[in-house]
Amino acid sequence: MAPVFIALAENNLFAIDVFCGPIPKDMGFVNLQPQDSTVIRFHQGLTNSLFGRIKSNLHFLSFLYQKKPDIVLAWVDTKKASFWFTLLLGKLLRIPVFSRGHGAFKRRKAKLLHQIAYQLILRLSHSYVCYTIGVKQSLMSWTHNPQKLLVDHNSMHNGYPILPAQKHGQEQGLLYLGRLRGNCGIEILIDAVKKYNSENAVQVDLHIIGGGPLSGYVKNQLKHVPQIHYYGELFDQEKISIISKACRWGVGPGFMGLNVVHMMSLSLPVLTHCQLDLHMGPEPEYLKHQRNGWLMPEQNSIDGLLSAVNSIWDLSPEETKKMQSNAFKTYQMLSAPPYYERLARILLEEADIDSLLDEGQWSF
């Protein structure tokens, strides 16, 4: 989200303070240190220890009480005391707190305590910003004021997109782009590619971009499967785009999230499963079977994955190009207007603080 906050600050002259903690190592992300500027300051906790968390939380709550920002945008975490204190202090100080999160889309049958927690969140929040329409629908029955539920259509900007005209529908690669950790499905993906290649004359290459606990497993497979190409952790969008040119489809047999949008920005339809509650984020709901993606009935099923790979490789180049074009069109629809503009519009209109724009600066 750092690029989004930077864009908000630089394009709208908002004064923004971002509070965040370090990312646990097993998440497969890298802790980058964004640079402060005249319009944005980052306050990042340095440790996940109990003392470190307490210190960071006290720093944030003190900032909230002393500075009284015009808006607070808070990511929902029902297990974090700091989130609940933010809601309560915002209510006490009359600061509009916009809660943002996945809602209950990952819970087919929510437990009573979870339902009560979300009812309280919706009551204490000025508004709840939903990642997708599906997130909004998951919360509709838990609020008496549906107007509090806003949708920002979570997306990302790719500065180096691959246009459909750059694809020919006969590329020999599958692209895995994401974290390498439990339930990501990389093991069965490699097994499926090995099995497919052993049964077919036309070989499929598997291009893997990402890091995490299973990166060692992937490196070990390179010795046995020449069709695997592993690039490790890669955050350079231009390099990722260049690699993707050799790929026909994006794939994620386990959990997926915003990487669905990244793949579509590369004119890659996405192969994954249709069990939305088992994904990492709600963004796979943007996929429509045989239009801009291919949806398997089950998560991490090697038989289902192998069947799907056979099906998409049997498509004609014309059919594939159509789906590649549809994938990119979906990305375009999610990118216009840019995500930071959609988020700014939601915050400004709902908080009713247009008069602050005349002052030139305001803070989150």
* pLDDT bucket at 46, cuts 50 / 70 / 90: low
Q: Does 313 lie in the same domain as 203? A: yes
* pLDDT bucket at 32, cuts 50 / 70 / 90: low
- Domain of residue 20 covers 2-157+338-359
Q: Does 307 lie in the same domain as 168? A: yes
**For residue 97, what is the domain's CATH number?**
3.40.50.2000
Rounded to whole angstroms, the Cα distance separating 314 from 65 reads 61
Does residue 17 belong to any structural domain of this protein? yes
Domain tally, the chain? 2
Looking at residue 216, its amino acid is G
Does residue 343 belong to any structural domain of this protein? yes
Which residues are CB-neighbours of 25 under 8 A, at least 6 positions away? none
Q: Does 88 lie in the same domain as 102? A: yes
Q: What is the predicted pLDDT for the residue at 322?
A: 98
Q: Does 237 lie in the same domain as 153? A: no
Q: Does 173 lie in the same domain as 210? A: yes
Does residue 190 belong to any structural domain of this protein? yes
Q: Starting from the edge strand earliest in sequence, which strands make up the sheet with 173-177, in order? A: 228-230, 205-209, 173-177, 247-251, 270-273, 293-296
* pLDDT bucket at 354, cuts 50 / 70 / 90: very low
The packing angle between helices 302-313 and 186-199, to 10°, is 50
Q: Does 40 lie in the same domain as 148? A: yes
Rounded mean pLDDT, 338-346: 89
- pTM of the model as a whole: 0.88
Main-chain phi, psi angles of 286, to 5 degrees: -70, -15
pLDDT in tens, 60-91: 889 999 999 999 999 999 998 889 999 999 99
Q: Does 135 lie in the same domain as 177? A: no
Question: Would you say residue 357 has pLDDT above 60?
Answer: no
Q: Does 178 lie in the same domain as 72? A: no
Question: Would you say residue 29 has pLDDT above 80?
Answer: no
Q: Does 351 lie in the same domain as 274? A: no
Q: What is the predicted pLDDT for the residue at 21?
A: 73
Does residue 364 belong to any structural domain of this protein? no
Does residue 243 belong to any structural domain of this protein? yes
Q: Does 270 lie in the same domain as 141? A: no
Q: Does 309 lie in the same domain as 188? A: yes
Rounded to whole angstroms, the Cα distance separating 332 from 69 reads 33
Does residue 118 belong to any structural domain of this protein? yes
Does residue 92 belong to any structural domain of this protein? yes
Q: Does 32 lie in the same domain as 59? A: yes
Does residue 67 belong to any structural domain of this protein? yes
**pLDDT, averaged across the chain:** 88
pLDDT in tens, 137-195: 999 999 989 999 999 999 999 999 999 999 999 999 999 999 999 999 999 999 999 99
pLDDT in tens, 274-319: 998 899 999 999 999 999 999 999 998 899 999 999 999 999 999 9
From first CA to last CA, the distance across the chain in angstroms is: 14
